[in-house]
Homo-oligomer: A and B are copies of this chain.
Amino acid sequence: MLSVLPKRKISKVLIFVILGILLLALSSFVFANDPNGAATLKKDANAPVNYTWTLICGFLVVFMMTGFAMVETGFTRATHANNTMLMNLMVWAFGTLGFFFVGFAIMFGGVGGAYADLSKLLTIHIGGKAWGLLGGTGFALAGHTYDVGIFMLFLFQAAFMDTACTIPTGAMAERFKWTAFIVYGFLMGGVIYPVFGNWAWGGGWLSQLGQIGLGAGYKDFAGSGVVHAVGGVTALAGAIILGPRIGKFIKGKPVAMPGHDLGLGVIGTCILIFGWFGFNAGSTMAATDLRLAVVATNTMLAGCAGGLTAMLYMMKTTGKPDTSMSCNGVLAGLVAITAPCAYVSGLSAVIIGGIAGILVCIAVWLFENVAKIDDPVGACSVHGVNGLWGVLSVGLFADGTYGDVKGIIFGGGWGQLGAQAVGALTICVVIFLLAFIIFKIIDKTIGLRVSAKEELMGLDMPVHGALCYPEFALSSLGVPQSYPDEDGNKSATVSKSISKGV
């Protein structure tokens, strides 16, 4: 539809729509709730320490974009580095603004308790019970959401949203069209992420599964599902529609396309470890919940265990400690522990992380060799597969010492695992389809993929007009700009060689 309208008209319409929203919102600021925090402080003497904890942890989560930028760029190729880097920065800008104007209201605009003001929840009634579907208060943080508590919640959650947004840019690296990327960024922050977010964290139906006997309802402490699996399946949908990079599969066999700066990837992984403490431990959103110490420790242990098992698995299968898979192992352990981090013991964290480290190695191999999907940095395996593993592990390892969540191993029965399975299935089906449809629409209107010529040049020059490393001699700049086609035919022309299947 967008392609039907003349371009000039669109941008004018857009500007008026934006201006309209701005004015509407600006006028509503007279209804501010507690914008300077004086009333909140009076009610709750622990507010300062809780705000301190939550916000600093939120800052750490924002910092994770640095790590993602480095991992995704380091593990892809030099002539796309500028593009991959800038995507990671700009997806934060687009996603955050999408979340500010729309997404936050959808996700949290119906939550009870501390944020009772955000009360417009779209609900449906099934079996005599009310099930939350979507929120609807808090657009642009205007009106009575101009409140210190809401702003704190927004900052923390916006940081999480950005993590989900940045996962697909890894799987879709080196061939994602810039204008399509802009649209994706706003929709991921404004729609895709907040929908499941509402169901799990915004008081929606998944969190209410306890009312039909499924344990304590879907439990996802810091977002193995909400953030990572949602990001992972969105990445998968994007990677499928985009198709593999030119030259990735020759006669159906995957060709290695090594990252151009593995050290950058390692450093990015280290930064992500740091940020993950904020991600998981900060999810108590209160310093008075001292379980945060267990959460932080479990996070570290699972990351270590994932790195160890992935490294050992690669040494066993290839004879060599592989750098990128060791990093992915650490990240897989961190992703997996993200849901259960508050509900399990240190030893369980080691086991969950250890399994994740092996899972990620197997998943990367399967995606590449069996499903023939080109995921340059393994985002679907790290975040998708291990996000789902993390969600399920709550139903296994939760030991009942926190929040009355108990898994099978510790005698909690099948209820909790059931709730977790429903959540995991919802991500795999509903969110995958939502993402798939959105990418498909983008593909059919403005196009999702760069031209083959741009891709073969490396995106930096044609898209951004500048190489990332203009003074360094790169072997990749000197090689002939053509690849064999899928049948291994060397004479493949550029126009033919852009293949989306395998």
**Residues in chain A within 8 A of chain B (CB atoms):** 22, 25-26, 29, 32, 35-38, 40-41, 46-53, 55-60, 62-63, 65-66, 69-70, 73, 77-78, 81-82, 85-86, 88-90, 92-94, 96-97, 100, 140-142, 146, 148-149, 151-152, 154-155, 158, 178, 258-264, 266-267, 269-271, 273-274, 277-278, 281, 286-294, 296-297, 300-301, 303-305, 307-308, 311, 318, 320-324, 326-327, 330, 345-348, 350-351, 399, 401-402, 463-476
Contacts and interface: CB of A to CB of B under 8 A. Distances in A.
B288 A468 contact: no
A304 B22 contact: no
A21 to B, nearest CB: 9
A148 B291 contact: yes
Given A62-B300, A261-B469, A321-B463, A69 B266 contact: yes
B49 A269 contact: no
Nearest to A140: B347
Contacts of A94: 304, 308
Contacts of A307: 89-90, 92-93
A89 B52 contact: no
Nearest to A77: B471
Nearest to A40: B290
Q: Is chain A's binding surface mostly helix, strand, loop or mixed? A: helix
B293 A260 contact: no
Given A85-B267, A92-B304, A97-B308, A287 B152 contact: no
A350 B290 CA distance: 36
Contacts of A22: 347, 350-351
A301 B94 CA distance: 10
Given A29-B347, A148-B294, A323 B49 contact: no
B401 A35 contact: yes
B287 A49 contact: yes
Contacts of A260: 469-472
B148 A293 contact: yes
